[in-house]
Amino acid sequence: MLSQVESHLRSDRFPHIWCPGCGNGIVLAALVRAIEELGYDPDKTVVVSGIGCSSRAAGYLDFNTLHTTHGRALAFATGIKLARPELEVFVLMGDGDATAIGGNHFIHAARRNIDLTAIIFNNSIYGMTGGQYSPLTPPGKRATTAPYGNIERSFDIAELAKGAGATYVARATTYHATMLEKLIVAGARNKGFSVIEAITACPVGYGRRNKMGNGLQMLLWQKEHAVTVKQAEKMSPEELRDKIVIGELYKGEAPEYTAMYQQVIERAQKTTGQ
């Protein structure tokens, strides 16, 4: 198992930059196993990331990797995918990256239903800059910029993605790494915009300040608070209040952007007689 992951890593890049107990490596490993399972040709596989602790994952992967600017990964990836639809494109983003500075690109990539697989490392905080609140920090939680508790409501990434037009939406936690891997596989197989939210621990920037313990304790917290879609069906909204629903949350049908553009090319060439 380990060697299978290793073969897709740039081993000369280790040790990685992440703190002890950080969940980012678990998401990275799930992604690699998923790509292995998908059987994608590494030469045709592209991983694009934004800026943040989580976005550093791209640099450790032995694919075509692009570490972009904060919030813009999906826009770079859109250019790659539209230019070369035959490439398999994964996009790694932090919660702040994807939904604050990159929120606009996120909803528009979903609206276009462009065939990208987006993986959002949701650690409920701006990790890289030292623990400021993000649009995914739950109300009441503490961050360096919310020393008296966060007063902003947080996004529900899955609802946001679905509402904006994504055709595959799923969520898992780093405790449920095997499920995460399966969801990434299914998301990648969806011909359209897929979003997989990975709940992950940032013990240094978030856990410590909110008395959630170390990385291991935060993993156990994920275990205790996660309920599957099936379990959730039988639960009341009151029971679900502090729970994280994991699994496949939405699957939809919509035309995929690059396929639609191929039709534009055919129409244009017919019109102009090329």
Residues that bind ligand SF4 (CB under 6 A): 18-19, 22, 24, 53, 123, 127-128, 202-205
The least CB distance from residue 96 to Mg ion, in Å, is 5
User: CA 170, 173, 178, 179 torsion: positive or negative?
Assistant: negative
From residue 260, alpha-carbon distances to 33, 53, 115, 123 in Å are: 31, 35, 11, 35
Binding mask 55-74 for ligand TPP (x = CB under 6 A): ---------------x----
Interaction with Mg ion in 92-111: which residues (CB under 5 A)? Answer: 94-95
CA distance 11 to 9: 5
The least CB distance from residue 116 to another protein, in Å, is 11
From residue 233, alpha-carbon distances to 150, 155, 156, 185, 246 in Å are: 30, 21, 18, 24, 12
Choose from ligand TPP, ligand SF4, another protein, none: what does 129 bind? Cβ within 5-8 Å by kind. Answer: ligand TPP
Q: Which of 202, 209, 118 is nearest to 160 (CA)?
A: 118
Check if the beta carbon of residue 55 is closer than 8 Å to that of residue 67. Answer: yes
Binding mask 159-198 for Mg ion (x = CB under 5 A): ----------------------------------------
Is 258 a binding residue for ligand TPP by CB under 6 A? The answer is no
CA distance 162 to 141: 26
Binding mask 68-97 for Mg ion (x = CB under 5 A): --------------------------xx--
Residue 98 DSSP code: I
Binding mask 57-76 for another protein (x = CB under 8 A): -xx--xxxxxxxx--x--xx
Provide the binding-site residues for ligand TPP, judged by CB under 6 A: 51-54, 70, 94-97, 121, 123, 125-129, 134
